[in-house]
Structure 1
């Protein structure tokens, strides 16, 4: 391949990746998309709920579903003011919402502190309003807390991350009280597994999930490989 053709190929690839999570088609046609909001699962006895925003929810949902003690993860929107937002509305960067996940877990199996650790393992908390090719406030880093203890756990984790020496920039994760989580459309749920051949999933999501599983391998469910 000539130098000119190689350079053209690289520019095309970068352009495709720069489309980002918010601009990609999902499914083979609009008619195949189930755009109804997904239903939230019923909280089971002894379960707890945690909510995080860490970039494209297709990836973060698959990351957290890998962990022992996690029963279900729902992709959705949180952190904004608009009620019942759609994917397209959140994508305008005007609703205040971020793509988020809600984690239903057994705290007797996996403590909240471990979920917070997984949150920072799974994304770059020093990146402001961006994760990889996805740019905008809808991709910002947020850890939502429901109790003072959860807030303290998040703040302690941020201090550890900043003091670890792994980063050249400080953590910019927002620590804000949980208010409302709106589940995303049905077709977004389980997207990572349902569309393994998509360019974005192959080139962005899959490497992040694999890296996450390698770093969290002591917490993976049986049968889940790193």
Structure 2
């Protein structure tokens, strides 16, 4: 009975990542200002969690939640959630390379998830898979080297995909800054915030002042 109750609670919490359309009240940074920064693209589970992790980093200006890795144009949250588009929930990270490097962003990527789980971070399905989208040969080399380096730390194989970046589609407005705007939402409270806090405890030296 206890196992059944735990399973039902987990299912409820995971499903919460698929609900609650709320209005975004955080002011967006103008595109001309963001153009000054480099971009990087990652996926490792629900983008609410991943966005909050990268937002906490010194040197990161902005993080946008969205979709990447599939062929569907202008995908919606419902389409991606159906696991039929090939897209995964991803984030677009705007960062200052004079403050934080792409290699450090990759370190954060691997250090804030379990890279041995297939489509489960902890959410289930291919739209939650672990992916680094590289834009050039240098990024691919860094990503491949990091993957090989951490392999010795796990008994199971690293399943992270390292694939060329093609296109990033911004998610609906209500997904942006979701964890910050909805701290009491059940999924955020039980999954996103604990995941963020585990990351902060692991990498305090990378955090913005006050995080």
- Shared fold (TM-score greater than 0.5)? yes
- SS in structure 2 opposite 1:131? coil
Deviation for aligned residue 1:156: 0.4
Normalising by structure 2, what TM-score?
0.91
- SS in structure 1 opposite 2:80? helix
Q: Tell which deviates more after alignment, 51-60 or 211-220.
A: 211-220
What are structure 1's unaligned runs of at least 5 residues?
Answer: none
CA–CA separation in structure 2 for the residues paired with 1:11 and 1:103: 34
Q: Tell which deviates more after alignment, 122-131 or 98-107.
A: 122-131
Which structure 2 residues correspond to residues 5-154 of structure 1 after superposition, within 5 A?
9-19=5-15, 21=17, 23=18, 25-27=19-21, 41-42=31-32, 43-45=34-36, 47-132=37-122, 134-154=123-143
In the alignment, is residue 174 of structure 1 matched against residue 164 of structure 2?
Answer: no
**Structure 1 pair 118–187 and aligned structure 2 pair: CA distance change class (3 A):** same
CA–CA separation in structure 2 for the residues paired with 1:71 and 1:192: 17
- SS in structure 2 opposite 1:135? coil
Q: Which of structures 1 and 2 has the bigger CA Rg?
A: 1
Deviation for aligned residue 1:10: 3.4
2:178 is aligned to 191
Deviation for aligned residue 1:186: 0.3
What are structure 2's unaligned runs of at least 5 residues?
Answer: none
CA–CA separation in structure 2 for the residues paired with 1:210 and 1:54: 16
Normalising by structure 1, what TM-score?
0.85
Deviation for aligned residue 1:16: 1.2
